[in-house]
Amino acid sequence: MTELFDRYSGLVYSVALRVLNDPGQAEDVMQEIFFQVWRNPNAFVAGRGSLGAWLAVMARNRAIDSLRRRRPTDSVDDVVLASSCDLGSEVARNRLMEKVRGVLKDLPMEQQKSVEMAFFEGLSHSEIAARTGDPLGTVKTRIRSALMTLRKAISA
Amino acid sequence: MQDEHIAQEDLILFAMQAMRSHELAAVRLHLDRCAECRRVLAEVNGDLALVAVSVEPKSLPEGARQRFVQRLAADASRVSGAGAAGAISIETKRPARRAAMWIGWLATAASLLFALSLEQKVHMLNDQLAQQQQAAAQQAAANARAQQVLDVLTAPASKRVLLTAANVKPTPTGRAVYLADNGGLVFQANDLGQLAADKTYELWVIPANGQAAIPAGLFRPDAAGSASVVLPPLPKGVPAKAFGVTIEKAEGSATPTAPIILVGAVPAAGE
């Protein structure tokens, strides 16, 4: 378990901290995620995709829950993802991070902002639309387009 | 929504937990049934993982690892008890193992926890079984005793004996059966005391209309104290209120003489 923690705690903590901007809360989220893995080791199975990617999504979702001060909206075994990303080593993770950041940086600014607000700030699409003054459909399209662009770029 | 696939934009909303609660249930229901939408959702989650990976790496707060290890140790102790806590080893040094070793470790830890939980459950079930067996044995014994009681009460060979206080003089009793329409009367008495030679018992019909008692026959008991009066001459059509027995002179009397030795009221209609 400690090996798992050593390998992925940095990623989980960094994602939580990015959302919460509070080291204490981020550590709480990180501890809770690994603790749940400890208590329920079958929650993640190989068929769910990359473990690192799964932990990263769990970190984001739990951090958003914490941000909204609500109970967890999904259990650890609710999230299934399709990802072949290798996040097991720091080198591979850094390489992927650079690539993703490059793709995101090249996105239109509106798409970048929409993804940022939705993913890291936990705003709903309608909240983003209200904040930016853009139509809801436009916000939805921007986010979908951004994710599709990212997917294609990484899988290329 | 259950018939058509969910739009990708909505699955993105769902994956980001940004969906409104009233839409959430419908999406969950659809996802339970639709493999295609589950596949698309998994791809979306993969995309979101990429976004997560874009985060700048940050160092853990000091002591975070140690706090986590302590939490695991505390949980292991809590779950498995003090004796079993040592069985689950929590490494405090970073081991140089293959990348996939944690899976085996997790499986072992899970198996140990599962085995401990299973053992507790087996123990609990054994206790419940013992309690139920004890209750069943008690119930069987109670049933056997109830059956014995029933056998004694219902067996044709059983002797039925009425016991009374010893050395107590029996109480005289009499039974009268009277049919007013034709003036028919059958009377039978038991345990009557013996009388002097110049005395007799006399049976009386007390009319319901308040008229004077009608003499219904003289009698003397046999050696056992039993006596009877059968169909004495009585007027027809006289409803009776009661019957009585008195002791009279040997030749009888036209009116009853106190005290009344036996008396019995006719039951009201329906009694």
pLDDT in tens, A139-151: 999 999 999 999 9
CA distance A47 to chain B (A): 11
Smallest CA-to-CA distance from B80 within B53, B54, B109 is with B109
> pTM for the whole thing?
0.52
Supply the pLDDT for residue B3. 58
User: A79 contacts in B (CB within 8 Å)?
Assistant: 45
Measured CA to CA in angstroms, residue B132 lies from A130, B137, B138, B142, B146 at distances of: 65, 9, 10, 15, 21
Please check the confidence at residue B1 and state whether its pLDDT lies above 70: no
Q: Find the Cα–Cα–Cα–Cα dihedral B232, B233, B237, B243, rounded to 10°.
A: -40
Residues 109-148 of chain A with CB under 8 A from chain B are 115, 118-119, 122-125, 140-141, 143-144, 147-148
Please indicate whether, in this complex, the C-beta atoms of B53 and A87 are within 8 angstroms of each other: yes
Domains of chain A and CATH, by start: 1-88 (1.10.1740.10), 89-156 (1.10.10.10)
Measured CA to CA in angstroms, residue B262 lies from B69, B193, B196, B252 at distances of: 100, 12, 18, 16
Out of B47, B53, B69, the one facing A96 most closely (by C-beta) is: B53
Domains of chain B and CATH, by start: 8-53 (no CATH), 173-265 (2.60.40)
pLDDT in tens, B210-258: 999 999 999 999 999 999 999 999 999 999 999 999 999 999 999 999 8
Smallest CA-to-CA distance from B174 within B42, B248, B262, B106 is with B262
Average of per-residue pLDDT across A14-31: 93
Please check the confidence at residue A6 and state whether its pLDDT lies above 80: yes
pLDDT in tens, B98-121: 545 666 677 777 777 766 666 666
